Amino acid sequence: MMPPSNLRTMKVEAPEPDIWVVSFNRPEVRNALNTPTHHDLREIFGPLAFTPGDLRCIVLTGAGDKAFCAGGDLKERDGMTDEAWRLQHAIIEEGIYSIINCSVPVIAAVNGAAFGGGCEVALCCDFIYASTTAAFGQPEVTRGIMPGAGGTQNLPRSVGERRAKELILSGGSFTAQQAYDWGMVNLVCEPRELMPKALETARAIAANAPIAVRQAKKAIHQGLQTDLTSGLLIEVQAYERMISTEDRLEGVRAFNEKRKPQFKGR
């Protein structure tokens, strides 16, 4: 699948045919989120809900060495009317939700500050790797607003209700190590190791059967929104999708022939 070419504030690279590295590309403003950024997010991730093609994994990061994403661009928002603010937020919702609904696994590689909307974007990804220089926070209440791009839902699901209330209601920041200790971040490493580690995991994911990976992601995500009995039904329905695939036959055949399977995504 070819990356979109009409992006204004983001960059998409394909270091390998089945892996994308997507970067917030406004380092001069610490990769702050403006309206064109959310248009770009929608352009990149929107089609991937149902038509991922041969894409198997995405790493999402920020350009430069200071910030993953410093949050919403408050200079752009200064003086906005209520109506303009609501219209912009609708675009934000479309961009953010397209990450959540992406059928392809998305790894956040947080290389610096991830505040406000930047923290929310990271939480929308499937899991997070962070450098030791990363810092997180949801400071919206200190600006007269509140998290509105998934923060009040995704943060409690990552760190627990009471911890999330403390962080969101105080507006304070927290370190990568704290995020790791609380279960929000999967790995903390030195800055130079961040992208190699993220790409190493991306390659491991990309080497697996893509239909199986996408269905497993779907089962986990949807199952956690419901009770156990319904979740088990979702899992079985997702499992059924694999039975008639060529990849299922290839996986069993490769195991018995003691070789590495060659999955085709069909």
Q: Are 251 and 209 a contacting pair, CB within 8 Å?
A: yes
Decide: helix, strand or coil at residue 103.
coil
Q: How far apart are the first and last CA of the chain?
A: 15
120 is catalytic: yes
Q: Are 156 and 90 a contacting pair, CB within 8 Å?
A: no
Considering only CA atoms, which of 174, 154, 195, 194 is closest in space to residue 113?
174
235 is catalytic: no
Distance CA 146, CA 158 (A): 18
Distance CA 251, CA 90 (A): 43
Q: Which of 16, 28, 120, 240 is catalytic?
A: 120
Residue type present at position 231: G
Q: Which of 76, 83, 94, 140 is catalytic?
A: 140
Q: Are 134 and 118 a contacting pair, CB within 8 Å?
A: no
Residue with tokens 């939480």: 123
Q: Which residues pair with 189 in a beta bridge?
A: 131
Distance CA 32, CA 80 (A): 17
The residues that are catalytic are 120, 140
